[in-house]
Structure 1
Amino acid sequence: TSADQLHRGITAESCPVALSELCLAQVCLSLDSLCSTQPDGSLRLSWAPLLPQEMADQLLHKMAAQGTLNDRTVGIFRSCEQLRLRRACVRSSPLSAEAFRLALCPHRLQELDASGVPGGLTGAHILSGLASNPECRASLQRLTLSRLQLGWTSLEVKEEQVGFSSLQGLRTLNLANTDLTDPFLEDICTLPQLEVLDISSTPVTELSALLGCRLTLRSLTAHGLRQLDMSPARVISILSQLHALRHLDLSDDRFVSGDEAVRLLLEGGSGILPALVSLDVSGRKKVTEGAVTAFVEGRRGLLFLGLLATGAGSCDVLSGKNNLKVTGEANEKQICESLRRYRERECFTREALVHLYQLTNDMYNQTRPDILKLVLGGMQNYSESLHVQLVASACVFNLTNQDMAVGMPHPLLSAVVHQVLEAMRSFPSHQQLQKNCLLVLCSDTILQDVPFDRFEAAKLVMNWLSGHVDRTLQRMAVAVISILVAKLSTEQTTQLGADIFIMKQLLGIVQQKAMAGVVDSTLKFALSALWNLTDETPTASRHFIQCQGLELYEEVLKTYSSESSIQQKVLGLLNNIAEVEELQADMMQEDLLEHVVTLLQGPQVEVGISYFAGGILAHLTSRQDAWTLDQGLRQTILEQLHAAILTWALPEREMVSYRSFRPFFSLLQTSQPAGVQLWAVWAMHLVCTQNGVQYCQMLQVEGAVELLKTLSSDLDTHSNVRGMAESILGMVERHQTTSNPLRTQTEKGHHGRS
C-alpha cells in the first residue's frame, strides 16, 4: 500500500469521535431520565427542542446500533413535530407491529431499513403501516426488508393488507433472504420508478416478471436463486431485455459449478447487456479465463467484476485495467475488495479471510491498519459464526504479531480485542479458536497500552487455562494473566481473587514446576500473577492459605535458594499475606521466620530480597499482642531488621510499585518499634525517589503526610526514622512546589494537594 493510503488508514482510526456522536450516544444511555412513561409503557421526551431532521434520523440509527431501540424507547418518535424522520433505520431492533405503526408510520419517510427485525414484525405489517400514510405512499423511495418474513402467502388483498405496488415512489427495494414468491415479484415489477432490486436467496422460480420494469431497472441482485426453474437460454433472454440494466449480480455462495446461463452471458461478449458496468459471478466454479477475457474486452466501461472463488481472478486481461475493481483471491487488492463488498455474505467473507490469512503469513513487520479494519468488520458482522471467527482471529494474529501492533491506532486495536474476547466467550470449547485469541492477546502493545476489559479477559484466559496443558500455550496464558492482573483496580482484583478456582490453578502450576525443579518463564509469570492477585485483597490471601500456598512457598524458597528472581516474587506475596491481620497467625512459624531473617542481609543477598523479607518481618512484629512465638525471638528480629535496613542502598531500577500506602499506616504509629517504623519510611522513600510525581501526590491524598510529620517531630522516635521521614517530607514539598511554578512565596507553607 502507498504511504498516503497508510496515513489515511491510521488517521481515520486515530481521530477523535465527533461531538455529535458522543451526544447522541449519551442521549441513548439517558433516555429514562430524559423521558416520562406513557400509560402504554412507551417513553415520551419530557422536553425536546425541534431537532434538525438529520439529527432525528441519526438518533434513531444510533439507538438501533446500540441495541436500545425497542417498543418502549421508540415511543419518543411518536411526536412528529419535535423528531421528524426521513431516513429511518430500525435494523435488528425488536419492534412489534403496533409500536412500528404508532412511532414510524406517521412520518413522511423517504427511506426505511427494517432488516432482520425480530419480535413478530413482518413485511405485511410494515407495508400496511406505511400505506396507511398517504404521504408515505408517494415519498418512500428506499425500502430494505432483508431477512424478514413477508407474512403473506399471496397477494390476495385483505382488508388491512396492500401490495408493494401501493408505494408508488419506490426506487430501491431489498428483499434478500425473505420468503418472496413469484406473485410478489409480479406486483413489485409494476412499480413505475423501480431502479434497484435485490431478490437474493428467495424462493422465486420465475424471472419473467422483470420485464415489467425493463425500462427503469438499473441494478438487479439475484444472488443464490436456488429454486429458479428456467432454462439458461430463457434467463439470458429475459436479462437481455432489461435495457436500463447497469449492475447485475448472479453470484452463488454454494460454490457449485458455473451454470450455463452464466457461461452464455460471459461468452456473449458485448452482444448481451452491452451497458453493464458491474457484474458479479463469484462462487461460480467453472468460470473460465477465456470467458472473462471475452466479457471484459467487450465492455470498456466495466467498473466492477466479482470473481471470488471462481479461479479466474488471475486472468491477464484484468492486470491492465486500473479502473476495474475485482473481487477474487489472486492478490491483496482483490481479497480486500472482497471483504469490502461481501460484508453481508458470510460464505464469501469466510472465503476471502482464508485467502487473506495465507497472504498475511508473509507480512513481516508491516503495519496494516487498513487490512485489520476489514478483518474486524467481518468478525463484527458474523460474531456467531465459528468459521468466520476462527479464520479472522488467525488473520488478526498475523496482523498484530510482534512489532506489527506498535503502529496500529489504539481505538482500532481496542475494538479488535473486544471482538477477540467476544469470540472466546462465544466458543469456549473450541480449542483452536481459543488458541488464536490467546495468541492475539499475548502482545506487549495490546496488554500494556490498549484499553479493553482486562478483568473480563483475565477470567476468560483463566477458564481456558483450566482445560489445557500445552506447555507453550500455558506459558503464554500465564504471562497474559500476570500482566492483566497487574493492570486491574483493587476492586477488580478483589473480585477476581474471590474465585478460589483461580488460586488453585496458579498454585498448581507453581507446584508442578517446583516438583520438577524447573526455572522458566511460566513459573515466574505464575508467581507474579499470584503476587498481584493477593495485593491488598484479603479474600485472595485467605484462599492462598486455604490452598496450602504457605507450605508450598516455604518449599519454593528452599528449592530456589540461589534464584533471586524467584525468591523476590515469593517474598513479595508473603509480604501481602503478612499485611492481613487475620492471617498473621498462620505465618507464626519459627522455621519460616528464621529462614526469612537469613534473607535480611548478607553479601549474596540482593536488596530486593532483603526489602521484602523485611516487610514480612515488620508486619508480623508490629502487633505485640498478636505475637504467639517467643518474645525474645521478636526482639531479636526487630534488632536485626533495624540494623539490616541501615545497610540497604537504593536500587537503580524500579523494584516495587504500590497502589496505596494505607497498609503502612499501622507501621508508622509512634508506638511501633523503631525497626518497624524504619522499614515503612524506607519503603516510602524508595518509591518517592524513583517516581516522585506519582507517590508524593499519593502521600498527600491518602493523609500519610500527617503521619510523617508526627514521626519527624516526635523526640521519642528513633533518629534514623525521623531523618528518613524528614527526607520524604522534603521530597513532597519539592514536588508540590515544582508542580505549580506560579505559586507565590506565601503559598509555600501549605501542604495541600497540588
Structure 2
Amino acid sequence: LTTLILFDVPDLYRTIDSIITLTELRFLDLSQSSRDTGLYPRPVTALHKLVTNLKQLTCLDISSTNLAAQPSPKDWPVRPDMHKPLDFIGLFNCENASHFGEIPAKHISGDANEDQVIMALQMYKDRAGLLQSVLNESYQLYRFGNSNPLVRHTEALHLVLNAMQNHLEDSTLQIAGSASLFYIIRKVAMNRDTKKRVVSALLSGMETHMEEQVMVRNCCLSLCQFEIPQEILFDYSRLAILLVTVLQHHNADNLTQRIVVFLLNSMACHVEGDQKVQVGSFGAIEMILDQIRRKLATNMCDDVMEVGWSFLWNITDETPVNCERFLKADGLLLFHKCFDAFRNERELVRNMMGLIGNIAEVDGLRSQLMNDDYVKIFSALLDLVEDSIEISYNSAGVLAHMVSDGEEAWSGLTVQREQVMASVVKVGWNWILF
C-alpha cells in the first residue's frame, strides 16, 4: 500500500501503531475538516512515530490536527536518514505550524503566506468543510495583505471560482468565496471570458442563496466593480430578475437597497428599448416605487430615493410601455407627495422632472398630466435656474408638450393655457445657454 487517505476519520490517534506498519506508504492523509476530530493526546510522539517508521513517505497531510502543535526546530522529528524534504506537507489550521521557518517540505498548505493559501485552495478543492476555512483565510489574506507582496491574484481568482462553482449548494462556502472574490478581482486584469465566469458565479450564488443577506450583499458589491451594463449584457435578464428579487427579500437592509438600486439604475442606462421593456416586465418599476414609498413614509430623502427616481427616469426614456407601468402603479401620486415633502432637494426634483418629461412625450399618456396641481408644480419649476437650467428646461418641455395638445385638452383646468404658453416663452429668453 503506497497511498492511505483517512481524511475526516475520527480518533486516528488509536490507529497510529497500525499505520506505521505500512512501511511502503508514500502518501498519507490524516487531515480533518475540524480540529475537534483531529486532537491527539501525545501529538509530538505520534508525529515522531510516523516520520521515523514510514521511510518512503513523500507527502503527509496533517491539516486541522494538533500533530504539529507548538512547533520549534526540535519539534520536527526529522529522520536521521532524511536527505531530502517531503514533496508536500499539509499544515492548514495547525495553529502556527505553517509559520515555522524550517518546514521540511517543498510544498506546504497553510495560512502563513500566499503560496501556502494557494496550495491549500488547490489541495482541498473537493473538501467543502476544509475548503470553507481556506476561503476564509483567502479573504483575510487578500483583504489585509501579508508581510510579503501578494502576486498570485489571478491563480487565486480561478481557484475561488472553481470552489464556488463546485460547491454551489453550500451557503457558508459561497459566502466565504464571494467575500474573498470581492478583494481578489480588484487586482486582476480580467479578460472577457474571466469576467463572464465571475459574473456567472456571482449570479448563481445569489440565485441559489437568495435568503442569505450577507451572500446577496457580497455579490452585489462585487458586481459594482464591473462596467454596467456593458459587461453583464450576456446575462442581462437574469441579473435584472435577481436584483428585483433582492429588493423583495431584503428591503430592510439599507446598504443592500442602495447597492441594488444603483445597479438597476446603471442597467437602465445606455441600453436599447427592448432591454428596458424587459426590466420593466420583471416588476422593477413597481419595486422601486415601493422603495421610494418606504423612504417617504420615514420622511427620508437619501441615496435610495434619489437614485430610485433616476432609475425611473432612465427606464422610461423613449419607452412608452414603462411610462404606462409607472402611471398604473400610482407613480404620479408619489411624484406629487415627494415634491411636497422634498421640493428643495434639487437632485431629486431634477430626476423626477426627467421622468415626467418622458411621460409628456407619449401622446396617449400626456392627458394624465392635465391636472391643476401638476401644472402649477411644472410652472413653479420654470423659474428654478440658480445652479442649472436643467429643471427649468425639463419643466418647459413638459408644459410645451401639454400646450401642443390644443385648447380643448385644457378645458377641465383652471390654469389658463395662454398664461402657461407665455411663461414658457418668457423663461426661454432668460436661459443662459453659453
Q: TM-score range by the shorter chain?
A: 0.7 to 0.9
Correspondence for 1:531: 313
Residue 333 of structure 2 corresponds to which residue in structure 1? 551
Letter in 2 for 1:275: Q
The residue type equivalent to 1:234 in the other structure is S
- How many residues were matched structurally? 423
Q: Which residue of 2 aligns with 1:282?
A: 63
Alignment of 1:308-387 (within 5 A): 308-311=92-95, 312-318=97-103, 324-363=106-145, 368-387=153-172
TM-aligned CA deviation for residue 478 of structure 1? 2.0
RMSD: 3.5
Counterpart of 2:28 in structure 1 is 248
Distance 1:534 1:382, change over 3 A: same
Change (3 A) 1:236 1:579: same
1:301 positional shift: 3.7
Counterpart CA distance in 2 for 1:627 and 1:523 is 33
Residues 406 and 247 from structure 1, CA distance in 2 versus in 1: closer, same or farther, beyond 3 angstroms?
A: closer
CA drift of 1:424 comes to: 1.0
Aligned-residue offset at 1:382: 1.0
3-state SS in 2 of match to 1:304: strand
C-alpha contact (below 8 Å) 1:578/1:620 kept by paired residues: yes
**1:307 touches 1:326 (CA, 8 Å); kept in 2?**
yes
Quick one: which of 290, 300, 307 aligns to 2:84? 300
Summarize deviations over 1:180-221 as a string: whole Å, max 9, x none. Answer: xxxxxxxxxxxxxxxxxxxxxxxxxxxxxx4xxxxxx5x554
Question: Judging changes above 3 Å, is the alpha-carbon distance between structure 1 residues 555 and 305 closer, same or farther for their aligned structure 2 residues?
Answer: same
How far has the Cα of 1:450 moved from its partner? 3.6
Question: How far does residue 470 in structure 1 lie from its aligned partner after superposition?
Answer: 2.8
1:358-410 C-alpha deviation (Å, 9 max, x unpaired): 3333149988334333322211221111121011112223335xxx3685555
Aligned residue for 2:98, secondary structure, equals coil
Q: Does 1:569 align with 2:351?
A: yes
Counterparts of 1:410-559 in structure 2, within 5 Å, are: 411-443=193-225, 445-447=226-228, 450-451=231-232, 453-467=235-249, 468-500=251-283, 502-559=284-341
Alpha carbons 2:114, 2:150 under 8 Å: kept? no
Q: Which one-letter code corresponds to 2:27 in the other structure? A: H
Report the residue type matching 1:531 in the other structure.
W
SS of 1:612's equivalent in the other structure is helix
Q: Who is 1:578 aligned against? A: 360
Q: For residues 315 and 257 of structure 2, what CA distance do their matches in structure 1 show?
A: 18
Unaligned regions of 5+ residues in structure 1, if any?
Answer: 1-209, 211-216, 652-754
Q: 1:464 to 1:310 in 2, by over 3 A?
A: same
Aligned to 1:41: none
Identity of aligned residues (%): 26
366 and 525 in structure 1: CA distance in 2 versus 1, 3 angstrom threshold: farther
Relative to structure 1, the CA distance from residue 227 to residue 259 in structure 2 (aligned partners, 3 Å threshold; closer, same or farther) is closer
**What CA distance in whole angstroms lies between the structure 1 residues aligned with 2:426 and 2:188?**
47
Mapped partners of 2:402, 2:188: distance in 1: 45
How far apart, in 1, do the equivalents of 2:365 and 2:303 lie? Answer: 29
Per-residue CA deviations over 1:545-603 (Å, capped at 9, x if unaligned) read: 22221122123334433332221101111111122232222111133123313333465
Point out which structure has higher relative CO (alpha carbons under 8 A, 6+ apart): 2
Q: In the alignment, what sits opposite 2:184?
A: 399
Call closer, same or farther: CA 1:301–1:257 in 2, change over 3 Å.
closer
**Cα distance in 2, alignment partners of residues 225 and 520 from structure 1:** 54
Which has more radius of gyration? 1
| Paired letter, 1:383 | L
User: For the residues of structure 1 that align with 2:357 and 2:385, how far apart are their CA atoms?
Assistant: 22
Per-residue deviation, 1:328 = 1.6
2: CA distance between counterparts of 1:262 and 1:235? 15
Label 1:607 to 1:266 Cα distance change in 2 as closer, same or farther (>3 A). same
1:234 to 18, 22, 30: 18
CA distance in 2 between counterparts of 1:447 and 1:338 reads 34
User: Relative to 1, partners in 2 of residues 1:425 and 1:625: Cα closer, same or farther, differing over 3 Å?
Assistant: farther
Q: Is the 8 A contact 2:135 2:160 kept in 1?
A: yes
The alpha-carbon deviation at position 521 of structure 1 amounts to 1.8
Correspondence for 1:267 among 23, 40, 48: 48
* Matched residue, 2:7: 223
- The question of whether the paired residues in 1 share the 8 Å contact of 2:229 and 2:269 is answered with no
Paired residue secondary structure (1:279):
strand
Q: 1:37-62: per-residue Cα shift (whole Å, max 9, x none)? A: xxxxxxxxxxxxxxxxxxxxxxxxxx
Structure 2 match to 1:111: none
The amino acid that maps onto 1:304 is F
Q: Is the aligned partner of 1:257 residue 2:41?
A: no
Cα distance in 2 for residues equivalent to 1:227 and 1:486: 60
* Residues 590 and 629 in structure 1, CA contact (< 8 A), matched pair in contact too: no
Map of 1:115 onto structure 2: none
Q: CA 1:635–1:292 in structure 2 vs 1: closer, same or farther (change >3 Å)?
A: farther
- Aligned CA distance change for structure 1 residues 299 and 392 (closer, same or farther; 3 Å): farther
Deviation, structure 1 residue 261: 11
Q: Superposed, which structure 2 residues align to 1:96-107 within 5 Å?
A: none
Instruction: Check if 1:389 corresponds to 2:185.
Output: no
The 1:625/1:418 distance shift into structure 2, 3 A limit, reads farther
SS at match of 2:99: coil
1:598 paired residue number: 380
Once residues 351 and 470 of structure 1 are traced to their aligned partners in structure 2, the CA distance between those partners, rounded to angstroms, is 27
Contact 1:236 1:265 in 2 (8 A): no
Q: In structure 2, how many angstroms separate the alpha carbons of the residues matched to 1:571 and 1:261? A: 76
Structure 2's unaligned 5+ residue stretches are none
Distance 2:79 2:98 in 1: 12
Asked if structure 2 preserves the Cα contact closer than 8 Å seen for 1:223 and 1:249, the reply is: yes
Q: Return the letter of the residue paired with 2:28.
A: L
Q: How does 1:706-745 map to 2 (within 5 A)?
A: none
CA contact (8 A) 1:350 1:388 kept: yes
Q: Is the 1:494–1:537 contact (alpha carbons within 8 Å) kept by the matching residues of 2?
A: yes
Runs of 4+ in structure 1 deviating by more than 6 angstroms, as ranges, are: 226-230, 260-265, 364-367
1:202-261, Cα deviation, whole Å (9 max, x unpaired) = xxxxxxxx4xxxxxx5x5545345799995323321x20x2xx54333333354135699
Give how far 1:488 is off: 4.3
8 Å CA contact retained: 1:269, 1:295: no
Contact 2:407 2:417 in 1 (8 A): no
Query: Which whole-Å deviations, capped at 9, do the CAs of 1:505-527 have from their partners, x for residues lacking one?
Result: 32233234345554422221111
